[in-house]
Amino acid sequence: MLKKKVHAGVTALLNTFAISDAGKEREVNEDYFGYLADDFGSLFIVCDGMGGNVGGDLAARTAVNTILEHFSELPNEYHPQKELQAAFSRANTVIRQMADEDPSLRGMGSTAASVLIIEDNAYLAHLGDSRVYIFRRGKLFQLTKDHSMVQHMVDKKKIKPSKAANHELKHLITKALGPLDEVSAETAFPFQLYNDDILLLCSDGLTNELTDKQIRNILRKYPIKEAAEHLLQEANASGGKDNITVQLVEISGIYNLPDDYKDQNPVTKHIDYKKLIQISYVGLGILALVILFYLSYKLFFKG
């Protein structure tokens, strides 16, 4: 449990800038973003609505406002990952109720990508294909995995990752706030932040137009305000077929990255527990064989 009112460790200083645009082909911007800093920490969120001009915009706004409201009402003690789950579930319930009460809103929903920063640690939660990245020491790492049909096909090795970006089904998502009565947000192990880290939250209007390499190069070149503006401009220049939202958070005032730090994704570097279980089974099998051999050996020589 974490104390809401008192932080024992060092707290990161955050420089943040966000920008959103309807793009070149959409009349209504159905993306929405938000930010709340309080005693609990700092929470950043980007949502991408779906379900028509009215429904999509309303779903995204409702998602952001409900999740931020949930964190503004936290008790003195709370568990970050559980509260992220609870906030997402609460937003899902509110969106479902609104759609049930108004037939014109049926089918509305929203993606959500969020980062909760407490002291010098980051906690992630997301649904859908809005993403969170970290730009660290000149390299860009994608911290979330899309809940989409194309990502599912990549995971099942039905298509190559290189084919995903232009696949005809890339807009079909498999998880979102709103469509189902119950939903479970995907959370990740918390990871430590360091000075000069930059967190990027964005809708797919950015990542469908720009490659990770293009995003990385812009973040290398500009301070965060100019970087956000250039990311939006380049996404529009590449087509701007969807709404585009960029939220950047720059970290300072804590620890420098260790000199011996190995460049790696801070989320996926954690132990894969499925593999750990498989390894444990193999180890137990080997141990059983060793014991069996030992007992057989003892019985043989005793006889």
Q: How far is CA 21 from the centre of its chain?
A: 21
pLDDT means per 10 residues, the chain with 303 residues, are 46 96 96 96 98 88 98 92 98 97 94 98 98 98 96 92 85 95 95 98 98 98 99 98 98 94 83 41 56 57 51
* Alpha-carbon span 285 to 262, nearest angstrom: 34
Domain 2-262 belongs to what architecture? 4-Layer Sandwich (3.60)
SS3 at position 30: coil
Q: What is the residue extent of each domain of the chain?
A: 2-262, 271-303
* 179 touches 109 (CB < 8 A): yes
**pLDDT value of residue 268:** 79
- The whole-angstrom separation of Cα 119 and Cα 10 is 6
Selection from 20, 102, 10, 15 nearest residue 58 by Cα: 102
Residue-level pLDDT at 77: 85
Place of tokens 């990502």: 151
Enter the pTM of the model. Answer: 0.86
Q: Rounded to whole angstroms, what are the CA distances from 100 to 92, 179, 237?
A: 12, 11, 39
